[in-house]
Amino acid sequence: MEAEEGERMSRIIHMCLSVRGALNWSKAEMKRMAPCIEVEGKQLQTADEVKNFLLDELSKGHEVLPSGDCDNFDWKTGCKGHGKQEANQENP
């Protein structure tokens, strides 16, 4: 474990999606999101499918869903941040 207290490096926080928040979407919004969600290799198509997917996630204890390429993700609180260390890539 490393703590980086006192030092503020540029940090990346991925966006995440609240499952409960998404359940409040209108049908139209859910339908719009459907193609963005893939379950078992299959894209969702209807609002009902999206809703079922969200309920499924909740039943797994997932409060949030990752968005993007996140490898430091907590299913309750979302992205925990990435301490991005920028390598010096300056060419003389």
Residues that bind Zn ion (CB under 5 A): 14, 70, 79
Q: How far is the CB of 12 from Zn ion (least distance, A)?
A: 6
Residue 78 in contact with residue 85, Cβ under 8 Å? no
Q: Which is nearer to Zn ion, 40 or 86 (CB)?
A: 86
CB 57 within 8 A of CB 65: yes
Report the alpha-carbon distance of residue 23 to residue 9 in Å, rounded: 35
Minimal CA–CA distance to 52: which of 17, 23, 16? 23
Min separation Cβ 91 and Zn ion, Å: 30
Shortest approach of Zn ion to residue 24 CB, angstroms? 24
Whichever of 49 and 72 has its CB closer to Zn ion, that residue is 72
